[in-house]
Amino acid sequence: MTKPVFPLRQAAEIIEALRQQQEVAIVDVRDEALFATAHPLFAVNIPLSKLELELLDRIPQRTTAITLYDGNEGLAQTAAERIAALGYSNVALLADDLAGWQAAGGELFIDVNSPSKAFGELVEHHNHTPSLSADEVHQLINSDANVVVLDARRFDEYQTMSIPGATSVPGGELVLRVRDIAPSPETTVIVNCAGRTRSIIGTQSLVNAGIRNPVFALRNGTIGWTLAGHALDKGQSRRYGEASETAQRQAANNARIIADRAGVERIPLATLKRWQQETRTTYLFDVRDADEYAAGHLPGSRHVPGGQLVQETDHYASVRGARIVLIDDDGVRANMTASWLAQLGWQVSVLEELQASDFSERGNWKAQVPPVAQPEFISPQQLAEWLQEGQTQVLDFTTRANHLNSHIPGAAWLLRSTLQQQGKALLPEARRYVLTCGSSLLAGYAVQQVAELTGKPVFVLEGGNAAWREAGLPTEQGEQQLLSPAIDRYRRPYEGTDIEAGVMQAYLDWEYGLVAQLDRDGTHGFRVLQLQP
């Protein structure tokens, strides 16, 4: 069968489009650990391995100019075919992949969420965001000084490890909650994350909002704390409480002033609906916390807490040059988040004049996924019988970490990218194959490929690994059959408590060098405002 031919798009053309603030989607289809080794600043990672699970929400307009690349692994062609089959009409391949990008003078960045991290360094560079070293903060805490430590990460990250005595206040909540947590202006407020970005943005948010307290970032976060030899807490559960009416009113006034100065637009619902009928990409994000969103939200909005949206903008708004519209119900979180996105170079608006009745949809956000050819499902009990008989091979497409933690006995773990590259030779011989993952959603997209490669019957485990465990069937742990390399996820140097000191220090050194790298790149369009009162 002849493969469809996709046009080649030159790197110089994309670089110019970025400088002109046109809509651009540069998609790296490698698995995340490979993406983290080198990529253009505004490249987004949508791996071939889980393309169908993420594409429709991250690039919602079928007419968007999408440019795909890999590292000469042959994955981009397959990704282009799958994307085109979903109705996208402007799909191209990056000429000469990353070598072509560099030849055109483009800069390559490492790690993940590079635009947001580079922007954080630029904010500190221009605003001289106040910070204290780990030793200075440790001394404050141990001397019983009037101090509070606010952890700006996600709550699950905070639970993994935290500064002793810290309270979880994710970054998008800081301006709304800080007045109730530290009502006395004499209280010193310390903001931390794991590394640098979220503590810098969180601290600068409080400074910009005119908080009267002394405010400092914990320099280098939990990494700096660990490198200084101080112990971290684990499994803590201290969280922010309800915002008082007075604190909310003050925060809303300050947040609006900041957003106005950053150039944030304000639109009514009618304008949003008109934009959503246009071909230009418009993202709609609700930046409140998860419980508030689940209790009632605007139909069609996606839940992304404000702090995480600033930290991981590329993961949610994957079309650079698109419009972003934000929602809250308090006048604080959307405006504060929008003020940062505007400085990050986005056209961003806050949706206003909403009524309580507009928040009519309930429940958690659900990703859009394309339909899959109806596979033949089998129950966990049927699979258990087949495994007893032999000649049945389970292929597990879940994450490597989940597989190592718990999997069906005899299951082989693999990535669809490796399957694409190695084909039938990758698969153990069997009379039949049963595909699974956490829920079996991703597994369903691999049925046709496995069937074509093997010529054998292929089934999907109904309900996936979760259903197997719920049925009380046996599981095992460990590395019994790993058919793919450990590339599905890049392990961040700031997560966990067992990272080598040299790795953590190298990560900090990289962050410190990002401002110079931005200068060399020349496509970012960031505009840091001097917003201190």
Q: What are the pLDDT tens digits along the chain (533 aa)?
A: 678 999 999 999 999 999 999 999 999 999 999 999 999 999 999 999 999 999 999 999 999 999 999 999 999 999 999 999 999 999 999 999 999 999 999 999 999 999 999 999 999 999 999 999 999 999 999 998 999 999 999 999 999 999 999 999 999 999 999 999 999 999 999 999 999 999 999 999 999 999 999 999 999 999 999 999 999 999 999 999 999 999 999 999 999 999 999 999 999 999 999 999 999 999 999 999 999 999 999 999 999 999 999 999 999 999 999 999 999 999 999 999 999 999 999 999 999 999 999 999 999 999 999 998 889 999 999 999 999 999 999 999 999 999 999 999 999 999 999 999 999 999 999 999 999 999 999 999 999 999 999 999 999 999 999 999 999 999 999 999 999 999 999 999 888 777 899 999 999 899 999 999 999 999 999 999 975 54
Q: In degrees to the nearest 10, what's the CA dihedral of 282, 303, 340, 524?
A: -50
List beta partners, residue 67: 26, 92
Q: Does domain 124-242 have CATH number 3.40.50.720?
A: no
CATH of region 258-358: 3.40.250.10
What superfamily would CATH give domain 8-114? Rhodanese-like domain (3.40.250.10)
Tokens found for residue 221 = 């976060």
CATH 3.40.250.10 range(s) for the chain read 8-114, 124-242, 258-358, 377-470
Instruction: Output the CA–CA distances (angstroms, integers) from residue 472 to 388, 402, 408, 468, 482, in the order listed.
Output: 16, 18, 11, 7, 24
Tokens found for residue 255 = 């947040």
Q: Mind spelling out the 3-state secondary structure of 196-245?
A: CHHHHHHHHHHHHCCCCCCEEEECCHHHHHHHCCCCCECCCCCECCCCCH
List beta partners, residue 320: 24
DSSP helix/strand/coil, 448: helix
All residues at 6 or more sequence positions from 355 whose CB lies less than 8 Å from its CB, including other chains: none
**How far is residue 391's CA from residue 325's CA, in Å, rounded to a whole number?**
53
Please name the fold of domain 377-470.
Oxidized Rhodanese; domain 1 (3.40.250)
Q: In degrees to the nearest 10, what's the CA dihedral of 423, 428, 433, 437?
A: -80
